[in-house]
Amino acid sequence: MDKGIVSLVAASTLGEDIGKNFASQLEKELESRGVDASFIGTVSSPDKISKIGEHGSSAILVATGGTESIIVAVGKLSRTVHLFYHDSYNSLPSALEAAAALRELGKIVHLHRIKEVSELADFIKKLSIAANGALRLSRCKLGVIGGVSDWLVYSRTSVDYVKRKLGAEIVNISLSELVDGMEKGFTLKEADPSKLGAAESKVSPLELSKALSVHESLEKLVKKYDLCGLTVKCFDLIAAKNTTACLSMALMNSRAFPAACEGDVPLMISMALGEFVTGRPAFMGNPSKVSEEEILIAHCTSPLISRFRLMTHFESGLGVGVSVEYPVGEKATLFRIDPKLEVLRIGLGQIKKWDWRSDLCRTQILLKLKGADKILKKSIGNHYALILGDWTEEISNAAEILGLNIEGF
């Protein structure tokens, strides 16, 4: 992809003045919103789009009829096509004809009815955010440190497959390189949990210092390999150094740098997509309790988005895990990409009150989510990602640009 999104107004030669009027309005609306999108203006002939180049998504305002060939020409250069029609000047008939032709070519096409140009500008802003996130992922280097955990018998994909499907590059890094970096940088010092903002700490200052040495070593690897995301085979780190990467994962995701556990590559890609699109931290969790309209997800790492405690890692009792209190009543987007990189499963839920339990991973989030039991009926793997707020539209648009199908709960 050369660009994230291209937007334009399609008008016939007979209706060029109508198109220019729409284009003038749209340009002002986009400027007032600070939209980062390539706006072409009015196009009245397919010949005028030859220099556009391939792009993630196109937003085309169908100003008049007689624009089918223009729409198809632009659509052929797009991963996804959004056609905006109105009730005048034969806009809809043209959009319908072009949409059918593009779908026959295998393009994903969405039609949207608008009453005001401002509606289109709002949508282009959202689409621009999604397209830029998808573009960033397609150019990304993602580190896999130590390999994939043995128990992830389904959640696996190959380096070549990721490159072919998404454009992203997987960089395999040995766990020994992480450990060597820890040993070179580690000194026996007592770290202060209050400097991290922890409300409470149940680990020793020395254990906290060891966990921070993991973080320092990982940050050096990020810089060395120019990574924009990573995943760590963290249980091998526990065996090697009696500490965990949980705190480092928490610190990285707190700044919306995608960091996943257990060498789970599909989940790392899911988190990267979500964080690149939204700019918000993502939580990675295990589904621990599922019913028709509720899901409890838990893990020993989480972005430090609110009040949190420092604890040990649940399964091992070693290192540093985090228990973060998520805000009850807030909306949250839950999602996961399958290992074949063909489907994004996504849904919107609401965080419910939950009484913390000691027999689960340290951060525990109960989400009211209609259709949650789809996780049981049709599993696409273990871990899921969660981002606060309703980002279903933006993440879905980005996934479509990358060639994924969208599936709700």
Same domain, 263 and 382: yes
* Res 1: pLDDT: 57
pLDDT(2) > 90: no
Same domain, 91 and 164: no
DSSP-assigned states of every residue in 132-170: HHHHHHHT-EEEEES---TT-SSS---HHHHHHHH--EE
* Res 189: pLDDT: 67
Same domain, 120 and 146: no
Q: For 97-117, what is the mean pLDDT?
A: 97
pLDDT band at 252 (very low <50, low <70, confident <90, very high): very high
* Res 129: pLDDT: 93
* Res 405: pLDDT: 96
Q: For 233-241, what is the mean pLDDT?
A: 93
- The structural domain count of the chain equals 2
Beta sheet of 169-173, edge-to-edge order: 169-173, 141-145, 229-232, 259-261
Query: How far separated are the first and last CA of the chain, in Å rounded?
Result: 30
* Res 185: pLDDT: 64
CATH label of the domain that carries residue 146 = 3.20.14
pLDDT band at 123 (very low <50, low <70, confident <90, very high): very high
What's the mean pLDDT when you consider all of the chain? 95
CATH label of the domain that carries residue 117 = 3.40.50.10940
Using a pLDDT cut of 70, give the percent of the chain over it: 98
Q: For 46-60, what is the mean pLDDT?
A: 85
Q: For 99-120, what is the mean pLDDT?
A: 96
Name the token pair of 120. Answer: 């289109």
Q: Cα separation of 167 and 145, whole Å?
A: 20
Amino acid in the structure at residue 403? G
Lowest mean pLDDT among 44-58, 74-88, 319-333: 44-58
* Res 284: pLDDT: 98
Same domain, 83 and 195: no
Same domain, 225 and 205: yes
Q: For 149-169, what is the mean pLDDT?
A: 96
* Res 186: pLDDT: 61
Lowest mean pLDDT among 145-154, 194-203, 251-260, 292-301: 194-203
Burial of 97 (0-12, 13-18, 19+ CB in 10 A): middle
pLDDT band at 193 (very low <50, low <70, confident <90, very high): confident
- Picking from 119, 138, 157, the residue at the C-terminal end of a domain is 138
State the DSSP H helix or E strand holding residue 335, giving kind and residue range, or none if neither: strand 331-337
pLDDT band at 95 (very low <50, low <70, confident <90, very high): very high
Strand, coil or helix: 348: strand
Q: How far is Cα of residue 364 from the mean position of the Cα atoms in its chain?
A: 21
Strand, coil or helix: 391: coil
- Picking from 118, 138, 158, the residue at the C-terminal end of a domain is 138
Q: Which domain holds residue 258?
A: 141-408
pLDDT(370) > 70: yes
pLDDT(50) > 90: no
Same domain, 317 and 392: yes
Same domain, 75 and 209: no
pLDDT(117) > 80: yes
State the DSSP H helix or E strand holding residue 237, giving kind and residue range, or none if neither: helix 234-241
Same domain, 115 and 234: no
Pairing mode, if any, of strands 363-368 and 343-352?
antiparallel
- Picking from 93, 111, 138, the residue at the C-terminal end of a domain is 138
Burial of 38 (0-12, 13-18, 19+ CB in 10 A): middle
* Res 64: pLDDT: 98
